[in-house]
């Protein structure tokens, strides 16, 4: 019976998820706009709170700045998969 419990617990928690960095979710205000930043390791996903993004470069730059503020890292690249969201790659090297 004990071996069955140990085997079940090994299947319940995949080993690759134990090595992932913790996920940090924060709301930050940049240039009078509120953003939700979901940061994990070297990636951040930024979405604007409230209204959708306009086709505006300043709003896009503010979203990248929000990711840098929350993570304390430098943005190396970014991608906009949908209106209202920006995915940012981060360099957190000292």
pLDDT at 81: 73
Q: For 1-58, what is each residue's pLDDT tens digit?
A: 444 444 444 444 455 556 788 899 999 999 888 999 999 999 999 998 766 556 577 8
Buried b (16+ CB within 10 A) or exposed e, 61-75: ebbbbbbbebbebeb
Choice among 44-48, 71-75, 76-80, 86-90 with the minimum mean pLDDT: 76-80
72 pLDDT above the threshold of 90: yes
Cut 0.75: pTM above it: no
pLDDT at 87: 92
pLDDT at 73: 94
Rounded Cα distance between 31 and 61, Å, is 10
CA distances (Å), origin 79, targets 4, 18, 84: 46, 27, 12
Rounded Cα distance between 19 and 31, Å, is 35
91 pLDDT above the threshold of 80: yes
pLDDT at 42: 92
């Amino acid at each position: 019976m004990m071996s069955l419990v140990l085997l079940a617990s090994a299947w319940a928690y995949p080993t690759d998820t134990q090595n992932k960095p913790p996920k940090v979710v924060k709301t930050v205000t940049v240039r009078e706009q509120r953003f939700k930043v979901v940061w994990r390791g070297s990636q951040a996903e930024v979405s604007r709170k409230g209204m959708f993004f306009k086709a505006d470069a300043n709003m896009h730059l503010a979203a990248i700045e929000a990711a840098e503020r929350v993570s304390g890292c430098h943005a190396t690249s970014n991608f906009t998969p949908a209106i209202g969201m920006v995915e940012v790659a981060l360099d957190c090297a000292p």
